[in-house]
């Protein structure tokens, strides 16, 4: 029992020793992403700046009337990847969606054709037009439902439909 308690005390010492260590600080901010519904992302588009961009950021703190249009555009591109017009520009994604839909419809059609020829039995003979014509003639000869039904629409004297 003494050895068991000493082992537990050793484990507690190890755990306590590791509790004093400080973990490194991680960046948990959201990644940059241009969205129309979120105009100001959490972080700028470019995190690391070159020397020219750093000097431009210092110049930004002064009056903006001294900045040229190119410098203003460069400052905008440091903060944002795309403008609203560029974000609203139509993409070609619809082509991929339509191609995927057509591909799966074609594959489904091929499966249905394969099933029709190799899985399902052949049609019964009663589906033939000749068989159905004989059945209609038989029903007329038997005078099926002569008051309001099938035979009431046949003119027996002229031999044609009314």
Q: What CA–CA distances, in Å, run from 149 to 14, 125, 138, 142, 157?
A: 96, 26, 15, 13, 18
Give the separation between CA 59 and CA 128, rounded to whole angstroms: 88
Tokens coding 82: 């795309």
Tokens coding 161: 């439909």
Inform me whether the pLDDT recorded for 43 exceeds 80: yes
Tokens coding 50: 């070159």
> pTM of the predicted model, to two decimals?
0.49
Residues 80 and 59 placed together within one structural domain of the fold: yes
Residue-wise pLDDT for 49-92, tens only, equals 999 999 999 999 999 999 999 999 999 999 999 999 999 999 89
Tokens coding 108: 């489904």
Domain count, the chain: 3
Q: How far is CA 121 from the centre of its chain?
A: 38
Residue 29 lies in a domain: no
Residues 161 and 137 placed together within one structural domain of the fold: yes
Residues 148 and 162 placed together within one structural domain of the fold: yes
Look up tokens 């992302």; give the residue: 41
């Amino acid at each position: 029992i003494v050895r068991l308690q000493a082992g537990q005390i050793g484990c507690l010492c190890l755990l306590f020793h590791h509790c004093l260590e400080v973990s490194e600080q991680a960046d948990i901010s959201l990644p940059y992403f241009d969205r129309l519904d979120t105009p100001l992302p959490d972080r700028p588009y470019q995190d690391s700046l070159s020397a020219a961009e750093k000097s431009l950021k210092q110049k930004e703190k002064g009056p903006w009337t001294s900045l040229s249009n190119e410098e203003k555009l460069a400052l905008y591109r440091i903060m944002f990847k795309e403008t609203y017009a560029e974000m609203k520009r139509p993409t070609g994604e619809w082509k991929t969606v339509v191609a995927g839909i057509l591909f799966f419809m074609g594959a489904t059609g091929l499966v249905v054709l394969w099933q029709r020829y190799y899985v399902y039995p052949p049609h019964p003979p009663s589906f033939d037009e000749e068989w159905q014509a004989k059945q209609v003639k038989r029903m007329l000869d038997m005078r099926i439902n002569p008051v309001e039904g099938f035979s009431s629409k046949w003119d027996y004297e002229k031999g044609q439909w009314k």
